[in-house]
Structure 1
Amino acid sequence: MFINVGDYPEVYPPKMDMLISTEWLSSHLGDPYLVVLDCSVHTEETPEGFANRSGFEDYLLGHIPTAGFADLKGNLSDQSSPIEFAPPSPAAFCAATGRLGVGDGSRVVLYDSMVSAWAARIWWMLRWVGFDRAAILDGGFNAWKTEGRPISTEPATYPPRNLTPRPKPELIANEDEVRGAINSPKVQLIDTLPAESYRGEIALYVGRAGHIPSAINISALDLIDETGRYQPLADLAAMHDIDCDQRLITYCGGGIAASSEAFALTRLGFKNVAVYTASLQEWAANPNNPMTPTSPDGT
């Protein structure tokens, strides 16, 4: 049985931090303008590689009370695209999130059951359509459970609301822009896959090893500490010795880990950040696109 959570007041609530704690969320659950969304995707290893499926079944087994479910494997992606997790049009994305209860005056908390990368992808897409009242729950569902906080198995919905598209197309990079970035001193590509993939020791996509030429490597896994929370800002800043005047384009395999890196960069104050959402699943599949393995000495 689905439950409805109340509407928000006439006056828009203030913005909140981009990263919020379990303590903050616990004290604000039930706020009339707050929408909480579980963004989990279930990933499992198969003989053919990693496969992703909707996390809805896991959501039904337990989630944060009042949380709805945001299905990145469903209508929050373009189902007609051969690219997994391809963004739909801004209007379609706003319509889908509006049905989840996200409106122009909402505040939204996003979480997942992994390392916040799925939540970061939806956070980035909300920014892409012009919505900036969203935050990620630091540590996600695992931190919530570890602290012994209440868990619900009752699916929740919010009243549908209107989310007005105000697109920021510069937040998503495409294949052509990435190709042009390779030799541009004004753009820095950031590969967010593990170092073994970046160096070409393993080939995760279409059997082509390595990285896009000129990309540096900042693994999204290194953004997270042993508890599943983001590293302190000072530590994140030390990891990102990057020219703040450059345009930064993050990528990974399917634009998920890359969104976590884009989230971290935004928290650090970098202004010109984009995610190559199609990432290596598109880039590596095109034999005309160069890939560069890295030698053991780092060259």
Structure 2
Amino acid sequence: MSAVPRHVSVEWLHEHLADPTVRVLDATVHLSFDEDGAHVASGRESYERGHVPGAAFVDQLTSLSDPGGEAPFAAVDTDRFAAVVGAAGVGDEHHVVVYDSVNGIWATRLWWQFGLEGNDRVSVLDGGLDAWRAAGYETTTGTETYPPTTFTARRRPERITSTADVEAAVADPDVLLVNALGREEFERGRIPGSVNVPFGELVGPDGRMRPVEELRELFESVGALDAGKRPVTYCGGGIAATAAALALMELGRDDVAVYDGSMNAWTADPNRPLER
């Protein structure tokens, strides 16, 4: 099968909505913060209020997060992933386009999980639902589905990193830990030896990915494009880290891994060191 781009424009998707080999998935999850901490909610209701015509909804919060994992949002196992996306109508022959209606990182999270399970026929809709609406394209309400099918998953273990791996990586000069949180959060506490490329700086004001030249400058400035170091991205819960992983892959780093548990898992043990 021919390679597909990691991003597609809303114009491209509009032209290909009727293509029977294309599957569009809304990956929205709502994450908010207040004095009581972080709160997450399924994006199903917002999907039902308005989505790209024909798109199905995949609930990453309830269907693709392992409650028995080492931290919230832990990736489900291979069999579970295959069952969920197969039920959503995604087969091996389909070109999948994922988007969200928030800030893009939930779309990149689903893109990453597909890649983790061996499928690269997945594109992120550049700018997400906001860009779709800004272009004047219509949205649809209610729920839409594709016929269930069979999805073949083959995990790539090199794409995911555990806490034990990261503990070893802290002292490994051949690994570079890339923190994708905001600069203030990075300053408050990070895994020792980490560098910072905030996910919010990977996109422009319109929510679209910055040009490759600008991405290259960001990652080169922290040594993340050094061929002698393997980049491992992380954030608070393994979501924003996938946006950094996608950007690194756009720059040719096919060896990047995501620390799935991220700071949620790292800080679960108060004896693990933090750098400030």
TM-score range, shorter chain: over 0.9
How far apart, CA to CA, are the structure 2 residues paired with 1:171 and 1:212? Answer: 19
How far apart, CA to CA, are the structure 2 residues paired with 1:229 and 1:180? Answer: 35
Give 1:227's match in structure 2, choosing from 206, 210, 226.
206
* Deviates further, 141-150 or 81-90: 81-90
Cα deviation, residue 184, structure 1: 0.9
The answer to whether the 8 Å contact 1:38/1:67 transfers is: yes
Cα deviation, residue 245, structure 1: 3.1
Amino acid at match of 2:165: E
Give 2:164's match in structure 1, choosing from 168, 172, 176.
176
Q: Does 1:218 align with 2:159?
A: no
Deviations along 1:145-190, one digit per CA (max 9) or x if unpaired, are 1111010003111111111121101100000110111111110000
Cα deviation, residue 140, structure 1: 0.2
* Deviates further, 146-155 or 126-135: 146-155
Deviations along 1:87-146, one digit per CA (max 9) or x if unpaired, are 111111111111111111111000011221101011011001101100000000001111
Deviations along 1:60-100, one digit per CA (max 9) or x if unpaired, are 10000000001111111113346211111111111111111
How far apart, CA to CA, are the structure 1 residues paired with 2:18 and 2:140? Answer: 14
In structure 1, stretches of 5+ residues that fail to align are 1-11, 201-209, 294-299
Report the count of equivalent residues: 272
Q: 1:205 is matched with which residue?
A: none
Cα deviation, residue 54, structure 1: 0.4
The answer to whether the 8 Å contact 1:15/1:107 transfers is: no
TM-score by length of structure 1 reads: 0.89
> Normalized per residue, which structure has more helix?
2
Deviations along 1:30-59, one digit per CA (max 9) or x if unpaired, are 211110000010122333122111000100
Deviations along 1:190-225, one digit per CA (max 9) or x if unpaired, are 01111101111xxxxxxxxx1000000000110010
The answer to whether the 8 Å contact 2:61/2:73 transfers is: yes
Match of 2:97, SS? strand
TM-score by length of structure 2 reads: 0.96
How far apart, CA to CA, are the structure 2 residues paired with 1:15 and 1:82? Answer: 34
Amino acid at match of 1:253: G
How far apart, CA to CA, are the structure 2 residues paired with 1:90 and 1:25? Answer: 28
Percent identity of equivalent pairs = 40
C-alpha RMSD of the superposition: 1.1
Q: 1:259 is matched with which residue?
A: 242
The answer to whether the 8 Å contact 1:36/1:66 transfers is: yes
In structure 2, stretches of 5+ residues that fail to align are none
Match of 1:74, SS? helix
Q: 2:38 is matched with which residue?
A: 50
The answer to whether the 8 Å contact 1:255/1:278 transfers is: yes
Give 2:270's match in structure 1, choosing from 284, 287, 292.
287
Q: 1:268 is matched with which residue?
A: 251
Considering only CA atoms, is the larger Rg found in Structure 1 or Structure 2?
A: 1
